[in-house]
Structure 1
Amino acid sequence: MPLVRVTNFAISLDGCGAGEPQTLETPFGHAGMKLHEWRFATWQEGAPNGIDALYGRQYDVGFGAEIMGAHKFGPPGWQDDPDWRGWWGEDPPFHTPTYVLTHRPRDPLQMEGGTTFHFLDASPAEALAVARDAAGDLDVRIGGGASTVRAFVGADLVDHLHVAVVPIVLGRGTPLWDGLEGLEARFHIESVVAPSGVVHLSLTRRRPD
C-alpha cells in the first residue's frame, strides 16, 4: 500500500523547522539557509558520497503527489498577489500534483516539468484523500513547513518521517515537536550521525502485532 512520508525535513537542535520572521527576502526567517547547508554540500562537485548524500537522494524518490502548507508556497500575504507562482521559478522541483493548504483557494497553477499546484481549504485527512487519488500507486510526501508536518503527524496520518537534526540553535522559530508528546509510542525511531554533525532520525510507524 502506498505510504505517506516526510523526507529530508531539517530542524535545529531546539526543534525549529524555520526561523522568523518569514518574508519574501528571508523565506526561512533568521535561520537563512543554515538548516539546508548539509544538503547543498552534497551537490558540490567532489563532495563525499556519504550519509548526508544517501539521505538527500531519497528526497523525491517514489512520490506521486505532495502536500505543503501555505507558508512553504510563499511568504505571508502571497494570497493577495494573483501573480505569485511560488518560490521556485517556472520549473519547480516537485514534478507531481502538489496540494497547497490555504484558507483562500485559487485556480490550479500548471507549471513546467509536471508540477501543478492545487490550492485546498481542507483538513489534513481531506487533503490526503485528494492527494492519494492523484498519486495512484506511489507515495504521498508531506513537504512542510513544520506546522504542516506537525499537523499530519498529530493526526496519525504519516507512515515514515525522516528528520535531519542540524547542529545549530535558532532560539526561536516554527517548532516541529510541539504537542507530539509520546510520539515514540507510535513510531520506531532510529538515528544515524553523519560526519557533518547532522543527526538523521528515521521514524517508522509501529504496526499492530
Structure 2
Amino acid sequence: MGVTRTHLSVSLDGYAAGPGQDVDHPVGVGGKALHEWAFALAEWRGSHGLSGGEENASTAVLREVEGNVGAVVMGRNMFGGGPGPWDEEHPWTGWWGEEPPFHAPVFVLTHHPREPVDMKGGTTFHFVTEGPEAAVGYARAVADGQDVLVAGGAATVRACLNAGLLDRLDLHLVPVLLGAGERLFDGVDGAVLEQERAVEAPGVTHLRYRVHR
C-alpha cells in the first residue's frame, strides 16, 4: 500500500518559494537557489532530457523520493497559467513542455473547471475544484498501490497537512536565507512530526519526517 507524501526544498528561514512568483519567476525571486542541489545531479538532468551532471549523496535520495509515484497532486500556482478562469484561446499546459516529468495522472487544485489535458509520456492533468481531500482521493484511487506525491506548492502541502492527508514529509534543507516569499509551515495547525532520517549532501541536508495524526 502506498503512502501520501511530499518532497520540497526549503530555505533555512522556512521558505519554499521566494517573493514575486510570476511567469518569469515561477519559484519566486531567488527561489531557484532552493533547487540548485538537484539541478546539478545527473539523475535530475536525465529525467528532464538533459545530459551531464554529477553524482553525490543526493543522487539516491532524489531517486527514492521521485520513484514509486502512481499519481500526483499539485496546486494551481505550481501548474501555472495565472489566476482566474482558464484562457481557452491560449491554453496553458504547465511549465514542463510537451513531455512533463511526471509520467502519471496529475490532479491540479483549482477553482475553475477545465477538461483534462493529455501530454506526452503518460502525464494527464486533471483539474479538481472540490478541494484537497477530493484531489488526494482521486489520486489514491488511480495510484494502483503506489505512492501519491503532493508536489506543491507550499499552500497545497499546508492544506493537505491540515486535512490529515499526508503520511510523510521529505524536506531538502538548503543553506540560503530568502527573507521573504511563501513559508511552508505558516498556518499549519498542530501537525506532529517524527524525524526518521537526515542525509548530508553538498549544498543540502535531506530530512524525512513521519506525520502523526
**TM-score, length-scaled by structure 2:** 0.88
Counterpart of 1:4? 4
2:165 pairs, out of 141, 157, 169, with 157
- 1:169-188 correspondence to structure 2 within 5 Å: 169-180=177-188, 182-183=190-191, 186-188=192-194
SS at match of 1:66: strand
1:26 aligns with 2:32: no
Are 2:70 and 2:146, in contact at CA under 8 Å, matched by a contact in 1? Answer: yes
Counterpart of 1:49? 56
Are 2:81 and 2:92, in contact at CA under 8 Å, matched by a contact in 1? Answer: no
Letter in 1 for 2:67: V
**Cα shift at 1:166:** 0.7
**Cα shift at 1:179:** 2.5
**Cα shift at 1:60:** 2.4
Counterpart of 2:112? 104
Quick one: distance in 2 between partners of 1:126 and 1:155?
11
Are 1:78 and 1:84, in contact at CA under 8 Å, matched by a contact in 2? Answer: no
Query: Structure 1 residues 157 and 57 mapped into 2: Cα distance closer, same or farther (>3 Å)?
Result: same
Letter in 1 for 2:6: V
Percent identical? 43
Are 2:128 and 2:134, in contact at CA under 8 Å, matched by a contact in 1? Answer: no
SS at match of 1:178: coil
Gaps of 5+ in 2: 46-51
Quick one: distance in 1 between partners of 2:84 and 2:98?
17
Are 2:40 and 2:53, in contact at CA under 8 Å, matched by a contact in 1? Answer: no
- 1:1-209 correspondence to structure 2 within 5 Å: 1-7=1-7, 9-43=8-42, 45=52, 47-50=54-57, 52-77=58-83, 79-82=85-88, 83-180=91-188, 182-183=190-191, 186-206=192-212
SS at match of 1:194: strand
Quick one: distance in 2 between partners of 1:153 and 1:120?
18
Letter in 2 for 1:74: G
**Cα shift at 1:127:** 1.4
The root-mean-square deviation of aligned C-alpha atoms, in Å, is: 1.9
SS at match of 2:121: helix
In terms of mean alpha carbon deviation, does 161-170 or 30-39 score higher? 30-39
Aligned length: 203
Gaps of 5+ in 1: none
Quick one: distance in 2 between partners of 1:70 and 1:176?
16
Are 1:125 and 1:157, in contact at CA under 8 Å, matched by a contact in 2? Answer: yes
Q: What CA deviation, in whole Å up to 9, does each residue of 1:14-33 have, x standing for no partner?
A: 11111121111111111241
Quick one: distance in 2 between partners of 1:86 and 1:65?
16
Quick one: distance in 1 between partners of 2:151 and 2:37?
18
Are 2:140 and 2:148, in contact at CA under 8 Å, matched by a contact in 1? Answer: yes
Are 2:84 and 2:112, in contact at CA under 8 Å, matched by a contact in 1? Answer: no
Q: What CA deviation, in whole Å up to 9, does each residue of 1:46-72 have, x standing for no partner?
A: 62332x112111232111110000000
SS at match of 2:70: strand
Q: What CA deviation, in whole Å up to 9, does each residue of 1:107-131 have, x standing for no partner?
A: 0000000000000112221211111
**Cα shift at 1:76:** 2.6
